[in-house]
Amino acid sequence: MARFEKIAFVASETEEAEDALKTLSKRYGCAAPEGADVIVALGGDGLMLQTMHQHLHSRIPIYGMNRGSVGFLLNNYQENGLKERLEQAEVTVIHPLRMTVRDVNGTFHEALAINEVSLFRQIHQAAKLKIAIDGTLRLNELICDGVLVSTPAGSTAYNLSAHGPILPITAPLLALTPISPFRPRRWRGALLPNEAKVVIDVLEPKKRPVSAVADHTEFRNVASVEVKEGSDIDIFMMFDPGHTLAERILAEQFGY
């Protein structure tokens, strides 16, 4: 008996994705996501991230097909043989980051990030940050536009644009990458073990306000941010053989 009889389809709001949703639902049926064997996301990388966030705790595998403008996290779109593709697909397990924020009023907030946790200056003045790793102070003062902590899955996204390293998807690492650093001018960031606890304190938070963002969730006027891997949360992404996320990340390092 096939493992993927009940397929849930979700789509972005583009005409291309909506047409695919109608075609595939008519052909394969469309189960409710909470009772499905697999969720098939039709859109771009943004929809894929949104779908993973919506089903973080369901442990239902997610298979994306590209009906958007960017498809790094997605498989090629094809209407035929979907169940056979699902049976043959390879699964990549990733873990999100858990962000805990204390704002300037002393209120705590939490959010999860699949790609990265980022801190940004809110005004024209540069941010001043202090960084500790596992309780040891590593940078007394980083003057910058911001800093981010990236997962391997997110290392080819904003982290790469900020000149951070590309991490193999199975590497037990996190990337700590500065955004436009002014002092120390030559600091390019650090590679951290995935079980590291990163604490970033904002210096002069009222004079130099900073926001913290976990993927798409933002908190403003923060005083301190703690970032740790959510190793207790498993996200199952499915890819066609030969086109896994591990292969795509490796290929990205060679420029193709």
Catalytic residue positions? 45
Q: What angle do CA 19, 6, 12 make, to 5 degrees?
A: 30
Structure tokens at 144: 């910058």
φ, ψ of residue 11 to 5 degrees: the values are: -140, 155
Q: Could you give the CA distance from residue 247 to residue 196 in angstroms, rounded to a whole number? A: 26
* Nearest-angstrom CA–CA distance, 9 and 4: 13
- In DSSP terms, 175 is beta-bridged to 150, 191
What is d(CA 4, CA 11) in angstroms, rounded to the nearest whole number?
Answer: 19
Within 10 Å of residue 167's Cβ, how many Cβ atoms?
A: 24
